[in-house]
Chains A and B, each alone.
Chain A
């Protein structure tokens, strides 16, 4: 017996079913209503049903291996984590630290997401991007963003 292979279709099917169950379950908390006067829960519940149905079809298809179905391939973990952290960091600090420091650190992290960029390279890219952004958005377009935030007292 060959081991169960985790294919793209299998995962995709499971994800769609998962979303369907989650949205469907949450819809039950809202008034469903009738076809005549639909409540807030009616349409989402119908959609959840449809997506679960489609998810099951995709799942079943995955057992009959189709041509386009293949292994998942590699995931750029380093890049993925750095990009995510860069975004969250920006969101978390842009108000407190202000645009300049927050942007510099975020762009440094996202630049480091590439394996081809050295530390010095990332530093250079971040400095360049921060300067360009300040020039365009703050001085050029006059967006009301503080360059230094209240966490930095000067």
Chain B
């Protein structure tokens, strides 16, 4: 009955008026950026990170988490209505959802997405609550060798799941790791790669990095081709599902919840994989396979539930191990650290109120999202009519103020410009920015554990293979790389991800 007591504690924390308010603000902002193409949750969390400094740690984390899973809801709205996924994980929803909208069934598609997301989110939150404590106990026995192998696995998995060239993604990770090396060496205190700039002693500013490579680079990319979007549906007529619709979506939602919960734990964009996997699963299992691509309601129910379930369970590696599974998680780690909490297995023991409060808030947030999305869908549709040429100066402006307010340091702003430029060039050359950011965040951790493990083993690299958990983690990493390089799987992968573009 520990679970009940813990959840009770969580409810006490999550239901205080302040926390409910910030949870609401978080999911509201999340929905907004999810709806609007061209600005994603990563950029938003990065920009808002400085604002959360003044809040209590638990309140800050509740809000940041809300932005992340709120964006999964919002992404489906623009995918269905304008065939332009606001979030990468909603890309498959666009296939059938937009077709439904063209047939005048936009309302049903939106309801299906919202209900599926709510159900999947609630179940996955429970999975998180049940799975976190035992995983934490395992994690407490991890030594440096295990942590090193785990981080390697996390980085490699993020590549296997990304689309595009694997070699390029690997190179982006290593580049991220190298950027992470900038600053004072942990052991000797020697400043590295600082070019004599005192501002770089504590490393490249993490917010500048995220805003630069995700925000500015993306804006420049969008400026290449300024097209005006057209909103297909001005008014959503009927929101109610027929009996037939309900019958058809129950099983896909259940299956997708399971699939999404499992895949979300994988590092590096499990939610994108989850929605693709769910779509192909439903297509295979469905009796009316021919309808897929032409407005099958299962094709909306499955992927939307899957990506939301995965969005919740991707907090598992973060909460138990301190390892981010997604660039947004990496930013949330930053938030933990800023508030003086070291993310990892100790959080649940040292800060139980924070741990359970954040978990329960996710359920509260999902409920708020359901309320927010269904009656207010008209408002979100109107949001889509805000032209991008107004939106992107706003992003730049808020990013400037947000970043500057962290340390009143102009250097951080110059870093945004420079990193934005580097990011843009790389994105233009088909190199994905997400592995770079993960590498950047995990770089110092990876080096620390590598050096510590090697000191403990007296310089013997066999320690990573002789310790069973570490060996298993590395083996999975190697298998993931080999599999994704194999021609047959590569072709399959390209097939799956080609629909995203």
Indicate if the CB atoms of A16 and B171 lie closer than 8 Å.
yes
Given contacts A36-B454, A106-B396, contact A79 B223 (CB under 8 A): yes
Query: Within residues 405 to 422 of chain B, which ones have a CB less than 8 A from any CB in chain A?
Result: 405, 408, 410-414, 416-417, 420-421
Q: Please state if A111 and B393 are interface contacts (CB–CB under 8 Å).
A: yes
Q: Kindly specify which of B69-77, B97-105, B188-196 makes contact with the partner chain.
A: B188-196
What residues of A have a CB within 8 angstroms of the CB of B273 in the complex? none
B154-178 vs A, Cβ < 8 Å mask (1 yes, 0 no): 0000000000110110110011011
Selecting from B288-296, B354-362, B424-432, the interface stretch reads: B424-432
Given the known A-B contacts A87-B413, A107-B393, A113-B223, are A16 and B401 also in contact in the complex, defined by CB atoms under 8 Å? no
> What mask results when residues 76 to 117 of chain A are scored 1 for a CB within 8 Å of chain B, else 0?
100110011011101110110001000100110011011111
| Cβ contact within 8 Å between A116 and B389 | yes
In the bound complex, residues from chain A placing their C-beta under 8 Å from that of B393 are: 107, 110-111, 113, 125-126, 129
For A, the interface residue count at a CB cutoff of 8 angstroms equals 72
Chain B min CB distance to A101 (Å): 13
Binds A, one of B132-140, B337-345, B370-378, B455-463: B455-463
Q: Assuming A40-B190, A103-B400, A129-B397, is B389 touching A55 (CB within 8 A)?
A: no
Q: Is the Cβ of B181 less than 8 Å from the Cβ of A43? A: yes
Q: How far is the CA of A80 from the CA of B396 in the complex (A)?
A: 13
A111 in contact with B389 (CB, 8 Å)? yes
Q: Is the CB of A75 within 8 A of B224?
A: yes
Does B244 interact with chain A (Cβ within 8 Å)?
no
Whole-angstrom distance between the alpha carbons of A95 and B404 in the complex?
10
Q: Would you call B197 an interface residue if the criterion is a C-beta within 8 Å of the partner chain's C-beta atoms?
A: no
Q: Which B residues are in CB contact (< 8 Å) with A79?
A: 219-220, 223
- From A35, A91, A113, A137, contact of B461 by CB (8 A): A35
Q: How far is the CB of B490 from chain A (nearest CB, A)?
A: 11
User: Looking at the complex, which one of B51, B171, B187, B417 makes contact with A84 (CB distance below 8 Å)?
Assistant: B417
Closest-CB distance, A119 to chain B (whole angstroms): 13
A115-B226 CB under 8 A given contacts A35-B459, A51-B175, A106-B400:
yes
Q: Does B450 contact A (CB under 8 A)?
A: yes
Chain A residue numbers with a CB within 8 Å of B188 are: 31, 39-40
Any chain B CB within 8 A of the CB of A37? Answer: yes
CB distance from A127 to the nearest CB of B (A): 11
A12-B392 CB under 8 A given contacts A40-B192, A87-B400: no
Query: With A12-B431, A68-B165, A114-B392 given, is the CB distance from A44 to B175 under 8 Å?
Result: no
CA distance A106 to B401 in the complex (A): 11
Which residue from B164, B175, B430 sits with its C-beta under 8 Å from A19? B175
Complex alpha-carbon distance, A30 and B192, angstroms: 8
A94 partner residues in chain B, CB cutoff 8 A: 400, 404, 410, 413
Q: Is the CB of A91 within 8 A of B192?
A: no
The answer to whether residues A12 and B216 also contact, given A50-B174, A129-B397 and a CB cut-off of 8 A, is no
- Is the Cβ of B417 less than 8 Å from the Cβ of A55? no
Give complex CA distance A137, B187 in Å: 39
Per-residue interface assignment for chain A, residues 118 to 137, with 1 indicating a CB less than 8 Å from any chain B CB and 0 otherwise:
00010001100110110001
User: A residues within 8 A CB of B388?
Assistant: 114
Query: A43 to B396, Cβ gap below 8 A?
Result: no
Contacts of A35 in B (CB 8 A): 454, 459, 461
Binding site for A on B (CB under 8 A): 51, 54, 164-165, 167-168, 170-171, 174-175, 177-178, 181, 185, 187-188, 190, 192-193, 216, 219-220, 223-224, 226, 387-390, 392-394, 396-398, 400-401, 404-405, 408, 410-414, 416-417, 420-421, 424-426, 428-431, 447, 450-451, 454-455, 458-459, 461
Instruction: Please name 9 further chain A to chain B contacts, defined as beta carbons within 8 Å, in addition to the given A35-B459, A75-B428, A76-B223, sorted by A numbering.
Output: A12-B426, A12-B429, A30-B190, A37-B455, A73-B428, A80-B421, A83-B396, A87-B416, A111-B390
